[in-house]
Chain A
Amino acid sequence: MTVYEPIEEFTDLKPPVTSIGVLGWIRSKLFNNWYNSLLTLATLYLLVKVVPPFIDWAVINGNWNTTGAACHQSKGACWSIIHANIRFIMFGFYPPTEQWRPLLAMMLLFALLLVSRNRRWWSKYLGFAWLAGLVVMGLLMKGGLFGLPAVDSGQWGGLPLTLILSVFGLTAAYPLGVILALGRQSRMPAIRYLTIVYIEMIRGVPLISLLFMSAIIFPLFLPEGVTINKIIRAQVAIIMFTAAYVAEVVRGGLQAIPKGQYEAAESLGLNYWQTMRLIVLPQALKIVIPPTVSILISAFKDTSLVVIIALYDILKTTQSTLSNPEWMGFSTEAYLFLALVYFICCYFMSTWSRKLEKELQT
């Protein structure tokens, strides 16, 4: 009987150098056939054409801490515009001595967001913490209590305003959207048609028309002598708009709940509200968490539209910096900086949404 032993030399044989390591990776990922090779070369050529001049402009010739006049002399990017105006861009007309308040409010918000990122910490208490947090943030911004000087909301601006409009917008729009979604599924025709008309109308028109409405028409709706401040009116428009989109997302969740769940709840003797609160909504809302986050993202981006009705959100403060003669003509730098701010916020939310989607997949 012959015993076959593995031959020593063969076990030690390595794959050819061209198919492993960096070389192998380059070959299989960039040059695996003729048109991919061509594509890679063309892209590399383009990158070489575009990236070094950009770095030249942005970094090597860039001005980081100069005056506007010096910037106008230079050929490079003028990042000094941000450095010199960061206070105004971030906080608008908020009194400089009270600036710590919006800063603290924003920190609070970011802390809450960070905590909520981890799903293991989701509980009733976190919900209460959010509610308390929102109240504290409002108090910090508004003042007038506990010895804080009151700051008129006309002076609110910059990043805090953007965040307030989107966070309060979604917080209020969410329950409203859930109610609208329930209305759309209702067995009562009058309720169903009212909500359908509302949802489809809002989704059919651009947000800007609602903002115009809040700015121009809404004052006409109120009896003589009653005025509501501009930020709240815009906030209401954003809430109405977002709620219609939330409603459609939640409806998707409601439709995904099998009929047996409703029947089981009924056979237990639960009434409509009990069925919804205890059986249907907890399941439906869980399914729609990822699309809800993407609504949050677009609500956050859409708050930039309040520029058109002249509210000083972070986009408007940047724009008014640009109309200062000293800094005129550096719009690219300023907008790139702003794009970075928006990108960081949205990227944070969208990676979170992707993570959630993976976790919730059951």
Chain B
Amino acid sequence: MELISKGAEADIYKGRWAGLDAIYKVRASKPYMISELDERLRRERTVREARMMLAARQVVPTPFIFYVGNSIIVMEDVGRRRLKEELGNKPTEARILGEYLGRLHSVGIMHGDPNTSNVIFNESSNRWYIIDFGLSLHTRRFEDFATDVHLVNEVFIVQHQEVYEEAFRSFLDGYSSVTENAGLIVEKVKEIERRGRYARRRSFIF
């Protein structure tokens, strides 16, 4: 199998499964963690990711799951074209991340790691997919939804600084268009960012 990327949380391989192109997401053991913690995290996150991907499928495109093991998920290969690379030329594309996040929140799912590397364009179905549910959870708390929005803001500041204003506005437009309580959640985001360490003048735009 071919290693595609080595993340912090898992290694991603490209391979085949029952005659189909497949992605193997492997949560390898971390040599620096004590085994109790390492095993707990790998098991918990693998199971959680598989469950949440299934739950999310009712409202957003996520890859089809072929197999779930102890610390491995084999899933449909939806491609390599990431939203991350598209935003520079077309900041308004950020809208799709907003829509998907809003739809997830509407059914009580916090993504936990929403960023532009986790939104992938599938050429054959002509649709964007959202992936990487290892840190996600079922919740009804506005605080959790607001944390997702805060994380997007942080990622945009760091990775899409040149197009930040337009991209983040597009994201919020998409988010508000499908989220019933968007206004209240956005208020909560401001509260989180005020609470952050010395966050007084953080550049959160509205």
Q: Do A and B bind each other?
A: no
Using a CB–CB distance below 8 Å, which chain B residues touch chain A?
A: none
